Amino acid sequence: MASLRSATTPAPRLTRNKGIVGQNQMSTWWRRLLKRFHPEGIPWPGTILYNAVSATAIFRRHYELVAEDVARDGAAERILDIGTGPGRLLLALRQPFPHAALVGVDISPSMVAQATRNIEQHGQTTGMEVRAASAGGLPFAAGTFDRVISTGSLHHWEAPLAGLAEAHRVLRDGGYALIYDLVRHMPEPVVREVRARFGGIRLALLWLHSFEEPFLNREEMQALGAHTKLR
């Protein structure tokens, strides 16, 4: 996971509005092949490894930057994190949003259990919860959240447009959806910054990661956002 704001590419900063959801025809043959080997959720024992990796400096910095970016849009009462994984973004969001209800969902029951343990270990059980749910089937009423966030999860979704439609549905009028993910081709300024901050070895691992995960490219991310009701 890229730790720099410029290394994660959100679909356009999205407010709730009207539009038409189209069909996703942007997947390349390589991405379709990779998705055959990547489940939408991480099962046990993969959750143990991912939990350990998510606690490293490069991941922690990533979560801090995302939390700062979300806070730029002002106060929020209820925030949803889709594909929350080990729940570390929820923990990072607590500082800029000390009184908000923070909710995470993940399709993997094992990951939900791990996130719940992390939240309890940090003493953050009040106003913070994690549920088992897919991006395309959120168990919330329409207009529930001020912010809907997803980071590093979009490329795993079985049906990205259905997931973004659900994000739109659960947003309140005037709310924001901020969808972050790595892209296949990292911009050169980001390459230089990652190398300077975290070293060449981590940069090489990140580069290799882009080949074994079904990431979209920048143009596909932008086109995906254009085919949703989010504007």
Q: Give pLDDT tens digits along the chain (231 positions).
A: 322 222 233 433 444 432 323 333 334 555 555 555 566 788 889 899 989 989 988 889 889 999 999 999 999 999 999 999 999 999 999 999 999 999 999 999 999 999 999 999 999 989 999 999 999 999 999 999 999 999 989 988 988 999 999 999 999 999 999 999 877 666 677 668 767 777 776 666 665 555 556 677 778 888 888 888 887
pLDDT value at residue 98: 96
In the chain, the amino acid numbered 126 is T
* Whether 166 contacts 138, CB under 8 Å: yes
Q: For residue 221, what pLDDT is reported?
A: 81
Q: How far apart are CA 14 and CA 10, in angstroms?
A: 9
pLDDT on residue 25: 39
Q: Around Cβ 40, how many Cβ atoms within 10 Å?
A: 18
Question: pTM value?
Answer: 0.78
CA distance 162 to 15: 17
Q: How many CB atoms lie within 10 A of CB 216?
A: 24
Angle between helix axes 200-212 and 188-198 (nearest 10 degrees) is 130
Cβ distance 59 to 81 under 8 Å? no
**Res 206: pLDDT:** 60
pLDDT, residue 24, reads 38
- Look at residue 223 in the predicted model and tell me its pLDDT: 84
Mode of pairing for the β-strands spanning 171-180 and 14-15: antiparallel
Give residue for tokens 């719940």: 116
- pLDDT of 70-123, one tens digit each? 999 999 999 999 999 999 999 999 999 999 999 999 999 999 999 999 999 999
**Is it true that the peptide bond before 39 is cis, omega within 30 degrees of 0?**
no
Separation of alpha carbons 213 and 156, rounded Å? 9
* Percent with pLDDT over 90 in the chain: 52
CATH topology of domain 5-226: Rossmann fold (3.40.50)
Question: Residue for token digits 């925030």?
Answer: 79
Straight-line distance from the first to the last Cα atom of the chain, in angstroms, rounded to the nearest whole number = 26
CB count, 10 Å around CB of 16? 20
Sequential DSSP letters for the chain: ---SGGGS--SS-EEB------------HHHHHHHHTS-SSPPTTHHHHHHHHTTSHHHHHHHHHHHHHHHTT---SEEEEET-TTSHHHHHHTTT-TTSEEEEEES-HHHHHHHHHHHHHTT--TTEEEEE--TTS--S-TT-EEEEEEES-GGG-SSHHHHHHHHHHHEEEEEEEEEE---SS--HHHHHHHHHHH-HHHHHHHHHHHHHS----HHHHHHHHHTSSB-
